[in-house]
């Protein structure tokens, strides 16, 4: 048995890519995308006809170029997500623009627009997760959306405060990051870490323990892996979103996978965090503060690059 198949015995596998060929090859339960992954997919041959169709529709509408370009990014994300939804049995995560990470009401409006775009393509909200950055404002937007029956994936999660606020808000799924946490600690300490002491792995173990002890319904999905050792060290985490390169490594290796994460029995939820406490506790974590800001900037930069590419195609 491959280690990928063995891993599936303990965790739901999610594809961290927009590449349809990779998704078909590894048959994940779900797929998750972000502006960086869509930017990569923008160059894939399999998407060119779909991209041309989206751009043609935008050209026919006319109007302000900047507005059309921004709308094209959303339509392209949904068009790609709809293609992915035809391949995976579960859900597709689609991201709200990073520039809205500190605007609750704008994030809610954008989520509604994305859900409506999916509906026009015949993809129901039960197949979609709206992806939001785990800022205070993003979490508040998710709280509203969840009550409306629009389930969310809270990403760029690096601190216990972010995790707790997401649990308090009743979000469907959180994506605590592994690789970026470890990257920061390696840079600070100048050393490498064995899987048993890996800071990113241990962070996600802590998030799983917190959700189990509190009896929260939120699903934990480990994300941002650098190595298969990090992946295997989180076998048993409810979901793991894994890049095609690491999926290929796991599929190529034979062997068993031991369950590494056990969610503890329920005791009692922790007291909910108010905004000042959330901001203070998150601020006290230098790694989380830096990585959240960096992640939002990176996604925003990739969104801008996408918009620039689309604007050139629209005016060609």
Q: How far apart are CA 270 and CA 297, in angstroms?
A: 31
Catalytic member of 110, 131, 187, 312: 131
The number of C-alpha atoms within 13 Å of 256 and in the hemisphere containing its C-beta is 3
Residue 131 catalytic?
yes
Distance in Å from the first CA to the final CA of the chain: 51
Burial 171-209 (b: 16+ CB within 10 A, else e): bbbbbbbbbbbbbbbbeeeeeebebeebbbbbbbbebbe
Nearest-angstrom CA–CA distance, 146 and 153: 10
- Transcribe 23-48 into DSSP letters: HHHH--SEEE--HHHHHHHTT-GGGH
- Nearest to 179, CA basis, from 134, 138, 229: 229
CB neighbours of residue 57 within 10 Å: 14
Residues annotated as catalytic are: 131
């Amino acid at each position: 048995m491959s280690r990928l198949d063995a891993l599936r015995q303990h965790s739901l596998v999610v594809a961290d890519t927009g590449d349809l060929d990779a998704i078909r090859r590894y048959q994940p339960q779900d797929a998750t995308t972000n502006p960086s992954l869509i930017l990569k997919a923008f160059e894939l041959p399999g998407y060119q006809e779909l991209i041309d169709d989206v751009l043609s529709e935008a050209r026919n509408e006319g109007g302000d170029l900047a507005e059309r370009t921004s709308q094209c990014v959303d339509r392209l994300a949904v068009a790609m997500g709809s293609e992915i939804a035809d391949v995976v049995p579960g859900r597709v995560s689609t991201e709200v623009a990073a520039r809205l990470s500190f605007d609750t009401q704008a994030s809610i409006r954008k989520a509604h627009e994305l859900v409506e775009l999916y509906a026009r393509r015949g993809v129901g909200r039960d197949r979609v997760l709206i992806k939001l950055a785990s800022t205070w404002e993003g979490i508040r937007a998710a709280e509203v959306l969840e009550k409306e029956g629009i389930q969310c994936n809270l990403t760029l999660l690096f601190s216990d405060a972010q995790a707790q606020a997401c649990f308090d808000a009743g979000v469907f799924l959180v994506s605590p990051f592994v690789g970026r946490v470890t990257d920061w600690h390696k840079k600070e300490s100048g050393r490498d870490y064995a899987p048993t002491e890996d800071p990113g792995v241990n962070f996600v173990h802590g998030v799983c323990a917190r959700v189990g002890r509190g009896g929260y319904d939120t699903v934990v999905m480990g994300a941002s892996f650098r190595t298969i050792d990090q992946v295997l060290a989180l076998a048993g985490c409810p979901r793991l979103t894994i890049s095609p390169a690491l999926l290929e490594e796991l599929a190529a290796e034979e062997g068993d996978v031991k369950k590494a994460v056990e969610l503890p029995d329920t005791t009692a939820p922790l007291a909910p965090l108010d905004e000042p406490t959330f901001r203070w506790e998150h601020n006290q974590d230098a790694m989380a503060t830096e990585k959240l800001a960096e992640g939002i900037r990176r996604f925003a930069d990739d969104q801008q690059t996408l918009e620039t590419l689309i604007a050139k195609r629209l005016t060609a």
